[in-house]
């Protein structure tokens, strides 16, 4: 448990009553990947992170000073 992403995943997994193994199966990834995510490894593929977050019902969003004007200029953006 080294960064916020890791602890968020751990927390949600525990709350869901899942083992690393079970979460891995549901997400369609290997068991070691869950272990690595929960231990702060940032060299995972985005794709695999997203699979795990989807199972845990965690959404990812982006945030920046320019974000507001982005939404103003791109009203059709799917976010």
78 neighbors 28 (Cβ within 8 angstroms): no
Q: State the nearest-atom distance from the C-beta of 31 to its own copies, in Å.
A: 18
Q: Does 63 bind its own copies (CB under 8 A)?
A: yes
Nearer of residues 11 and 25 to its own copies, judged by Cβ: 11
Phi first, then psi, for residue 12 (nearest 5°) are -65, -35
Rounded CA separation 43/34 (Å) = 12
Q: State the nearest-atom distance from the C-beta of 55 to DNA, in Å.
A: 13
Rg (CA), the chain: 15
Rounded CA separation 41/70 (Å) = 31
Tokens at 41, concatenated: 């490894």
Q: Does 68 bind its own copies (CB under 8 A)?
A: no
Q: Does 38 bind DNA (CB under 7 A)?
A: yes
Q: State the nearest-atom distance from the C-beta of 71 to its own copies, in Å.
A: 10
Q: Which residue stretch of 18-26, 27-35, 36-44 sits at the interface with its own copies (rule: CB under 8 A)? A: 36-44
């Amino acid at each position: 448990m080294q960064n916020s992403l890791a602890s968020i995943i751990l927390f949600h997994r525990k709350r869901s009553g899942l083992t690393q193994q079970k979460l891995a199966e549901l997400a369609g990834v290997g068991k070691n990947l869950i272990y690595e995510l929960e231990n702060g490894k940032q060299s995972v593929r985005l794709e695999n992170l997203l699979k795990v977050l989807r199972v845990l019902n965690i959404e990812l969003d982006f945030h920046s000073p320019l974000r507001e004007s982005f939404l103003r200029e791109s009203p059709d953006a799917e976010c």
